[in-house]
Amino acid sequence: MDYVIYILIAYLLGAIPSGLIVGKVGYGIDIREHGSGNLGGTNTFRVLGVKAGLLVTSADILKGTIATALPFFMGADVITLIIGIFAVLGHMYPVFAGFKGGKAVATSGGVILGINPIIFVIILATFFLVLYISKYVSLSSMITGTVAVVVSILFQDYGLSILITLLTIFVIYRHLANIKRIINKTEPKITWM
């Protein structure tokens, strides 16, 4: 029964459309009608600016962290790795936004933060290093996922390695169109770094 409760909570937390809320409440804009049409932090940065982008990205990370940490703090007899996956699925396919959500990067990071903060710090540093060099958020996200798999294996946390591998597959799958644009040199680059 614990699994059903925490899976549902994780999905519903993940399904909170941060980009949609920030866009509509703070700016009177439906973020889905601008830029890439995506609900995630990257599109928010592009359309609404750094302040809104940071707010949405932080909220999306927090969704994954709370969903993963909540069962632990409540003493529930569940594997938090499994619960975290449902927060990510909620973010990608949110019931509150027509099942069209973000690309899972920030919420995946939040799940990792809830399970192993040291690995989170390493991958966060990796993300910003690759972003600084490449200026591509999508490429930075995919490389960071791959690095996260390697780091979790080096930490000998094999359950987390399996979870991170699944999350990285989600992230890469959600970025297939971005991969094509990178190859064709039509992928937008950030200008704020």
**Structural domain boundaries in the chain:** 2-183
Residues 40, 119: contact at Cβ < 8 Å? no
Contact 171, 42 (CB under 8 A): no
Centre a 10 Å sphere on the Cβ of residue 120 and count the other Cβ atoms it contains.
19
Going by C-beta distance under 8 Å and a sequence separation of 6 or more, which residues neighbour residue 112?
64, 119, 120, 123, 148, 160, 164, 167
What is the model's pTM?
Answer: 0.92
Amino acid at 66: I
For each of the chain's 193 residues, which pLDDT tens digit applies?
799 999 999 999 999 999 999 999 999 999 999 988 888 898 999 899 999 999 999 999 999 999 999 998 898 888 898 999 999 999 999 999 999 999 989 999 999 999 999 999 999 999 999 999 999 999 999 999 999 999 999 998 888 899 899 989 989 998 999 999 999 999 999 887 7
